[in-house]
Amino acid sequence: MAIYDSFNNKIANPKHRKCHQGRSSLLLLLSLSFFLIGYSNRQNEISFLKLPICVEKGFRWSPAIYGNKVVREDWRNGNGDIYLYDLKTGKEVPICTEPRNQRSPAIYGDRIVWADDRNGNWDIYMFDLKVGKEMPICTEEHNQWNPAIYGDRIAWMDDRNGNWDIYMFDLKVGKEIPICTEEHNQWSPAIYGDNIVWEDWRNGNGDIYLYDLRTGKELPISREPHNQFYPAIFKDKIVWVDERNGNKDIYLYNLTEKRETQICKEPHDQWMPAIYQDYVIWMDKRDGEWKLHLFEIKNNKESQLTTGKENAWIPAIYENKIVYVEDRGDDKYVYLLILKGGGEPK
């Protein structure tokens, strides 16, 4: 607790903190973390460490995490770029600083994908850390946006047909495949294994649909008459934002059990869920500002993670590690929370 407090006081003063300084503190803390018990939220006894990834002045957004690698959109050079922070080495590496905008990164293994407008419209590009090379994935002259990646498969939303569709590129066979080209809008794809999920507006309101690459079949997950949107998927579990109760809630569908459950239906707004194994996280507005909340599916237990006046935005999760953006007005910081139980980054 004492170590956390002194650490937290230090990071609360941005004038004396730069990314590289956060780095040395991160390494120090990681080396100390065998002896740390972390921070316990008094309300619910969930324990975690909070560590800075980037607390430099400036705008950054859309953090994503895989293993020890955290990627983000960063505007330090006056336009959107992609940066990587390696939790193991404590090093920050620019991935793409091309003078036009690179935004909305996703990562799987050594592959980082993002949306890129260097050609005058939005395209999908990839950087492979293993070979140290960038390659275009889709440069079709309309807009490709919001990429998601799992293994050899990269999915995105695409407006080449005059409305938004879902497309995919398979790196293994070097081929692009249309996933859903229905004439209404399909948005916000997420992918895990053979399953791609998205938000679908064909029925006049937001629904959740799935495409199974193994069977080639499309499956509606929720067509409830209110809006369902912003899906995320891990193995056989799909979570999304649901407005059926008159405000934004979090719902889950289990593909194995073919069963829908409510994760959080608190009367304020819950938004932008992410899922990994047993953990579902989201942004929650019940306290006035957006805070991060965690739900453990097995224990049926909800905990509040962030506190304080700063909004916590756009979380992502890998194993027991959560990355998110903390709102400091014009400045947006990126933090890492390590939930107790998983230990330090490997």
Binding residues for Ca ion, rule: CB under 5 A, are 79, 81, 98, 102, 121, 123, 140, 144, 163, 165, 182, 186, 205, 207, 224, 228
Q: How far is the CB of 128 from Ca ion (least distance, A)?
A: 19
Query: How would you classify residue 343: left for phi > 0, otherwise alpha for psi between -120 and 50, otherwise beta?
Result: left
Instruction: Pull the structure tokens for residue 108.
Output: 């799987």
DSSP of 170-219, one letter per residue? ETTTTEEEEEE--SS-EEEEEEETTEEEEEE-TTSS-EEEEEETTTTEEE
Instruction: Kindly tell me which of 81 and 284 has the beta carbon lying closer to Ca ion.
Output: 81
Nearer to Ca ion, 205 or 247 (CB): 205
| Neighbour count for residue 88 (Cβ, 10 Å) | 13
Q: Which residue, 224 or 344, has its beta carbon nearer to Ca ion?
A: 224
DSSP state of 101: -
Q: In terms of CB distance, is 116 or 284 closer to Ca ion?
A: 116
Tokens of 67: 């293993």
- The minimum distance between CB 335 and Ca ion, in angstroms, equals 23
Instruction: In angstroms, give the least distance from the CB of 320 to Ca ion.
Output: 32
Report the nearest approach of Ca ion to the CB of residue 324 (Å): 23
- Rounded to a whole number of angstroms, the minimum distance from the CB of residue 304 to Ca ion is 28
Cβ closest to Ca ion, residue 140 vs residue 260 = 140
3-state secondary structure 114-167: EEECCCCCCEEEEEECCCCEEEEEECCCCCEEEEEEECCEEEEEECCCCCCEEE
